[in-house]
Amino acid sequence: MNHDPEAMPYQSPEWNNAICAEGRLRDISRYYQFEDGCQILVPLVTVTAIGPVDLVAGSYPDGCGMGGAVCCENTTNRHLREVLKDLMALRFLSIRIRPNPLQGKRWAEAAAGLGLITKPRRAHVIDLKDGFDHVYSKLFTKATRVSIRKAEREAVVVKSSSSGELIPLLHSLLETSVKRWAEQHNEPHWLAKFRFGRRDPIKKLYRIQEALGTSCKVWAAWVNGQPVAASLVLMGKNVNDARGAIDRVALGTSRANDLLQKLSIEDACRAGCRFYHLGESGNSASLSHFKERFGATHYDYSEIFIERFPISRAEYLLKSGVKRAIGFKD
């Protein structure tokens, strides 16, 4: 089924295939058809932790994007509540559901009273319905438009590709960003590098490119011949900005990342996409400010946990303990 106008590339079969290609994850997506004709697809994968025993599942796990439900037009809270009840009856110790932020309120209402654990999240989304001219002139802030013109005057070079040629550049900039983030948060570099290696090995990025083909674009910007910014953008009815990175030192005052973002949004409008998802913002005021400069609206929603044992609580306590031990700064 592919009738949901709010469906994200993260919810596509191609994305599911890409994240399962390594073998660590296995597709167990659930399809529901109700008596009134409503159809819902929940993209779901399981992590096989001990031999063939399935302990946890996610829609989706950390580092794999957002899942939730691909819904038909007449989906109601009642339908989603039945979906949750079905998932609650499965054998897994833990199932986490990280839904489309646009549908967060509907999921929260469906989960009310079921005794499920929730974790607050915040994401930013740009509504492209009125086309790029409107987005640029009405939604972009004046300061953002000034920055973009500055980047254009300084002859910043921006290129996009769906062939995979820019993936090494993207991966290199992601590594550079990881080092910077580690320093900002007082995290040991070896630990940050280890987590990055598990989350985004370069072979994973190549698998995503191969699985999504022309629906996956890497955008990159150069200043004086040196790469300074890159992003991984997934396109369908809507857009997911899946990864982004900059070399802050090389970027300087060029505003190349603003021009890159502008051209990527313009490309999405040209392709007829309705929503441009800029991803999670968490509690970062600076990250929220950056996204809102491009006309993004924040959506507060909840990740839902279905658990037989308090696994998410234990995970939180473990991570909190590690952060305290290393002096991590949120």
What confidence tens digit (pLDDT) does each residue in 183-228 have?
776 777 877 788 888 889 999 999 999 999 999 999 999 999 999 9
Continuous H helices in the chain = 13-20, 77-88, 104-111, 131-134, 142-153, 167-185, 189-199, 202-212, 248-251, 256-270, 285-292, 311-326
Match domain 9-122+301-326 to its CATH number in 3.10.450, 1.10.3470, 3.30.420, 3.40.630. Answer: 3.40.630
Average pLDDT of the segment spanning 152-175: 96
pLDDT tens per residue across span 245-273: 999 999 999 999 999 999 999 999 999 99
Question: According to the model, what pLDDT value does residue 123 have?
Answer: 97
Yes or no: say if 40 and 71 are a contact pair by the CB < 8 Å rule.
Answer: yes
Q: Which band of pLDDT confidence, cut at 50, 70 and 90, is reported for residue 23?
A: confident
Same CATH fold, 129-273 and 9-122+301-326? yes
- Cα separation values, 322 from 182, 192, 329, Å: 14, 13, 12
User: 1 is written with which tokens?
Assistant: 């089924």
Q: What is the mean pLDDT of the chain?
A: 91
Q: What is the pTM of this model?
A: 0.92
- For residue 281, what are the CA distances in angstroms to 115, 128, 277? 27, 20, 11
Question: What pLDDT score was predicted for residue 283?
Answer: 87
8-state DSSP, 49 = E
Taking only the tens place, the pLDDT of each residue in 24-63 is: 899 999 999 999 999 999 999 998 665 555 689 999 998 8
Distance CA 118, CA 305 (A): 6
The CATH number of 129-273 is: 3.40.630.30
Residue 281, pLDDT > 90, answer: yes
List the domain boundaries for the chain: 9-122+301-326, 129-273
What's the pLDDT band for 86 if we cut at 50, 70, 90? very high
Per-residue pLDDT tens digits for 91-123: 898 999 999 999 999 999 999 999 999 999 999
Longest dimension (CA), the chain: 61
Q: Which residues contact 188 (CB under 8 A, 6 or more apart)?
A: 182, 326
Please state, in angstroms and rounded to a whole number, the distance separating the CA atoms of residues 24 and 54: 11
In this structure, are residues 258 and 141 in contact, taking their beta carbons and an 8 Å threshold? Answer: no
CB neighbours of 329 closer than 8 A, spacing ≥ 6? 184, 185, 186
Asked if residue 314 has pLDDT above 70, the reply is no
pLDDT one-digit tens code per residue, 113-149: 999 999 999 999 999 999 999 999 999 999 999 999 9
Question: What pLDDT, on the 0 to 100 scale, is given for residue 329?
Answer: 66
| Pairwise pLDDT comparison (87 vs 199), residue with the higher score | 87
Would the CA dihedral through 324, 327, 328, 330 be positive or negative? positive
